Amino acid sequence: MRVVFMGSPEFAVPCLRALASKHDVAFVVSQPDKPAGRGGQLTPPPVKATAVDLGLPVIQPKSARTGELETALRESGAELAAVVAYGKILPRAVLDALPRGCINVHASILPRYRGAAPVQWAVIDGEHETGVAIMQLDEGMDTGPVLLEKRVAIDPDETSGELLARLAPIGAAALLEALELIATGRATPIAQDHAASTHAPMLTKADGAIDFTQPAQKVAARIRGVDPWPGAQALLRGQVVKLFRARASGTSGATSAAGTVVAVDASGLHVACGDGGVIVIREVQAPGRKRLTAAQFAAGRGVAIGDVVSKPELA
């Protein structure tokens, strides 16, 4: 089948590679290059870099609404477009430009976690299961009918970055399966239950500010859910530090105020939370320094029982 691929981040790369191995990719659509690093050098999105590596033509329209994308699709000779984390809402003219429209790889079990950050919010919310859904795109935010889904369990200590990396090849396999169903006339789109939908908005830097007055399970899940971006941050000894690899310990810190360090050992910093529970923070990073085990960090900075870890003000 001749197809167009639309995507931008690393999550979409396995889908592009899988598609190119089995189908005729007319061209690839990706977000424009953006400044990155301290020097602000223009850097291509991972999908563009992969497309170039595969020898595929790439276009990078600044907007999906100027007519440039619609025209390119109509002239491509493709049957449909596969969209994976492209990063823009597609207007009706673009959705209707190809005979079979556009299908999308979305990293949740729809209708839950519609939006830009479904994996991150699933981890933050302490979900035990997520997955990948292949849907027919319409003009709404992830509201189209679902062609198929693949479910996976979320590991208790898994970060959102690790889960995204694990879901990416699952999404690639699901995309190929969906295309086979479409090509053979066996696809049966199922309308979503819109009343059961939940929203997964894009994360902001402020989402990384850790509030230890919350229950231990929620605090640990938040730290994992904002890893790698924006990163979990807390105020410790007058300095904002990053926190990694947290888990609820199952022990009680009920006699200590939320945010109090109740133990420091080889397993990490044990910090009391608002429900009387305790989380163990296994790794810490000071500004401009390398990431250390929490035990190493505590030894180097003199962090001890009774110190307080609190929520920082993040812009």
In tens, the pLDDT along 54-108 reads: 999 999 999 999 999 999 999 999 999 999 999 889 999 999 999 999 999 999 9
Compute the residue count for the chain: 315
Q: Do domains 2-196 and 205-310 have the same CATH topology?
A: no
Sign of the torsion formed by the C-alpha atoms of 77, 146, 194 and 8: negative
Residues 10 and 287: their CA atoms lie apart, in Å, by 26
Q: What is the pTM of this model?
A: 0.95
198 pLDDT above the threshold of 70: yes
Q: Spell out the residues 6+ positions from residue 263 whose beta carbon is closer than 8 angstroms to its own.
A: 269, 270, 278, 305
Q: Spell out the residues 6+ positions from residue 65 whose beta carbon is closer than 8 angstroms to its own.
A: 91
| pLDDT the model gives residue 250 | 78
Run of H or E residues at 130: strand 129-136
| pLDDT the model gives residue 138 | 95
Residues 250 and 248: their CA atoms lie apart, in Å, by 6
Strands (E), 169-238: 232-236
| pLDDT the model gives residue 39 | 77
May I ask the CATH architecture of the domain 205-310?
Answer: Roll (3.10)
| pLDDT the model gives residue 254 | 66
Confidence of residue 315 (pLDDT cuts 50, 70, 90): low
Confidence of residue 139 (pLDDT cuts 50, 70, 90): very high
CATH code of the region 2-196: 3.40.50.170
Q: What share of the chain is helix, strand, coil (3-state, %, to 5)?
A: 30, 30, 40
Q: Which two tokens stand for residue 162?
A: 């690790």
Domain boundaries, the chain: 2-196, 205-310
242-280 pLDDT, tens digit each: 999 999 987 766 678 999 999 999 999 999 999 999 999
Q: What is the mean pLDDT of the chain?
A: 95
